[in-house]
Amino acid sequence: MLVEDTEIPGCHVLQTRVLHDERGTFTKTFHAPMFEDATLRTDWVEEYFTLSAQGVVRGMHFQRPPADHAKMVFCLVGKVLDVVVDLRKGSPAFGRALGFELTADNGRGLYLPAGCAHGFLSLSGTSGMYYKVTSVYSPEHDAGIAWDSIDFDWPIADPLLSPRDRSHPALTDFDTPFIFAKD
């Protein structure tokens, strides 16, 4: 697995090796010693899996402190446009949004540090996303920002959204509790 830096400090593309044979594929998505060597967190406490129809946007989600968390995501089925926004005051990338195409075939995943909002657009008939996080879900700390309030050129104008995602505040109205800390 290769760990590639992005323009958002602490956010990394995880490029795995996808092995193909007549049975299908095999991909290793986590290796604790490699993560530790790259100074990435390994204290995962919950895992999730979502299936989304084409045209669904889920996001932009995060948890507020003290329940904030680092997150690792992979697309296991289909194809998504995965989007990350840096919400950390003092970060050189504060407010910057980046998008990455994740597919079941390209072996690409993302590692997001605490203080980043995350979301995605399902680009295929069905998309399956797998998440690992470093804190337990906490409804009172669960939060988000409006998907269309970030500086990102989404390739969809009217996605299918949950009522929760339709109610998130705009990024400009969000008072961030996150502070950037240089390692």
In a domain, 80, yes or no: yes
In a domain, 28, yes or no: yes
Please report, for residues 9, 33, 83, 134, 143, the alpha-carbon distance to residue 51 in angstroms, rounded to integers and kept in the order given: 29, 30, 17, 21, 21
Q: Which residue out of 61, 69, 118, 168 is catalytically annotated?
A: 61
- Tell me, what CATH number does 113's domain have? 2.60.120.10
In a domain, 181, yes or no: no
Q: Establish whether 141 is a catalytic residue.
A: no
In a domain, 22, yes or no: yes
Could you read off the pLDDT of 22-49 as tens digits, one per residue?
Answer: 999 899 999 999 999 999 999 999 999 9
Q: Which residue out of 69, 111, 118, 131 is catalytically annotated?
A: 131
> Do residues 160 and 55 touch, judged by C-beta distance below 8 A?
yes
- pTM attached to this predicted model: 0.94
Domain count, the chain: 1
Could you read off the pLDDT of 127-179 as tens digits, one per residue?
Answer: 999 999 999 999 999 999 999 999 999 999 999 999 999 999 999 999 999 99
Of the candidates 90, 66, 84, the residue with the CA atom closest to the CA atom of residue 138: 66
Q: Establish whether 69 is a catalytic residue.
A: no
